[in-house]
A and B are shown apart, each in its own frame.
Chain A
Amino acid sequence: MQQQPACDDRQTIQRIATGDRQALTELYARHRLMLFRYLLQLTPDHGLAEELLQDTFVAVWKSARDFEGRSSGTTWLIGIARRQAHNTLRRRGLPLADATALETMAARDPEPEDALLAGAAREQLASAIARLAPLHREVLVLTFAQELSYAEIAVALAIPVGTVKSRLNHAKRALRAALEAAEGVER
């Protein structure tokens, strides 16, 4: 992930708020790849992800004045991209993950079965991640591909930090179950 000082993004967004189109171009160049990768976790359709990326920057242009600088630019952008994606998917009748059902799954403990995940081939695990429910895939990508902190993820997804932690653990359990299921099929 490309690292930029947070103040650069804040200054760029403030310039966008004054109507500076060059600033919008700069912000797009700096973050389009990160946002495109993020959007691909919400929809497998590359064309739709590209469309959502454009919608995101239209929304950035319109709402830059509302940016209060309380979160990093990255977090603010992911929040906008997520809202664009969810609004569009909902409008087009595409299914969204049932967050409530996923959140009420049982809590976890450190377990010896972690050995299964630790010993899995990277490609096998990546393939299992690609098949996870969007809610689980998203939190893994934000944590490990976008390298956001729990607090930044909490802001981006508008959920409490505790939910970020429980969602990560649910995602790990789902991965383990997927690996075990795949092993069962091979037997």
Chain B
Amino acid sequence: MTMDPRHTPAHTTDLLAAYANGSLGAAAAERVRQHLDRCPACQQELAAWMAIREAAQLAAAPA
């Protein structure tokens, strides 16, 4: 059995934006956390979403 996390069925990329904005339920958030522990690609993608989150909040602030 491969241990490459990018090939496991637990891949959770579709949930990363929701994880970044804190809107996931507890069970789904825990699943994402466990996957992130062993998936560098998803860690990188989460970092991208966190950067987008901060920028979107800045972009939406009234001028």
Contacts and interface: CB of A to CB of B under 8 A. Distances in A.
Interface of A: 33, 36-37, 40-41, 108-112, 114-115, 117-120, 122-123, 125-130, 137, 140-141, 143-150, 165, 168, 172, 175
Contacts of B50: 118
Nearest to B18: A150
Contact of B20 (A119, A122, A144): A144
B59 A118 contact: no
B59 to A, nearest CB: 4
B62 A144 contact: no
Interface of B: 6, 13-14, 17-18, 20-23, 41-42, 44-45, 47-62
B38 to A, nearest CB: 13
Contact of A115 (B6, B21, B42, B44): B44
Contacts of B47: 114-115, 117-118
Contacts of B23: 147-150
A115 B56 CA distance: 18
Nearest to B42: A110
A110 B59 contact: no
Contacts of A130: 59
A110 B44 contact: yes
Nearest to A109: B13
A110 B18 CA distance: 15
29 contacts: A36-B62, A37-B61, A37-B62, A108-B13, A110-B44, A111-B41, A111-B45, A112-B41, A112-B44, A114-B47, A115-B48, A118-B47, A120-B51, A122-B54, A122-B55, A123-B58, A125-B55, A126-B56, A126-B58, A129-B56, A130-B59, A141-B59, A143-B56, A146-B60, A147-B21, A147-B23, A165-B14, A168-B17, A172-B49
Contacts of B52: 117, 125, 129, 140, 144, 172, 175
A109 to B, nearest CB: 8
